[in-house]
Amino acid sequence: MSVPLSVMIVEDQTDIAYLYSLYLTRSGFDTISFTEPLLALDHFRQYPRRYSLILLDTFMDGFNGMELSKEIRKYSSQVKILLIAGHSKGDISHRIEFKEAKISDVIQKPIDFEKLGPRILQLCEKQSRG
């Protein structure tokens, strides 16, 4: 039996965070979710090797996804970061902040749950292959 991949979800809307967590847990992932970005950062700081991937909303109260990604990178260059964007990937991926934050990929809202699990697996597979 293989160990499930651990995913940290950072989404400031409680109901949306719950849906992501519910779907990913039912898909076999080990999840934890945070609605407060600073609490997520504090937790990650304590456990930087626990997570394979962080699913991160772009726009949150107090701390946006780009800023949080940059802070996360201070503790881990290995964890994959999948940014959830309300606009097209091209609009974000060409920004300087995107490159500085070393974001692994972007998915666009509305989230297609049928594609979310396979996308996470694909990103984490790249990590394990190096």
70-124: pLDDT as tens digits: 999 999 999 999 999 876 555 666 677 778 889 999 898 888 988 999 999 999 8
Domains with residue ranges and CATH for the chain: 6-129 (3.40.50.2300)
Q: Over the range 50-76, which residues count as b (16 or more CB within 10 Å of their CB) and which as e? A: ebbbbbbbbebeebebbebbebbbeeb
Q: What pLDDT was estimated at residue 1?
A: 40
User: Has residue 12 got a pLDDT over 60?
Assistant: yes
Average pLDDT over residues 42-66: 92
Beta strands 53-57 and 105-108, pairing class: unpaired
Q: What is the pTM of this model?
A: 0.89
Q: What pLDDT was estimated at residue 92?
A: 67
The two most distant CA atoms of the chain are separated, in Å, by 42
For residue 54, which of 79, 86, 25 has the smallest C-alpha distance?
Answer: 79
> Residues 58-78: pLDDT tens digits?
888 878 888 999 999 999 999
Please list the residues that pair with 34 across neighbouring strands.
10
Please list the residues that pair with 53 across neighbouring strands.
7, 80
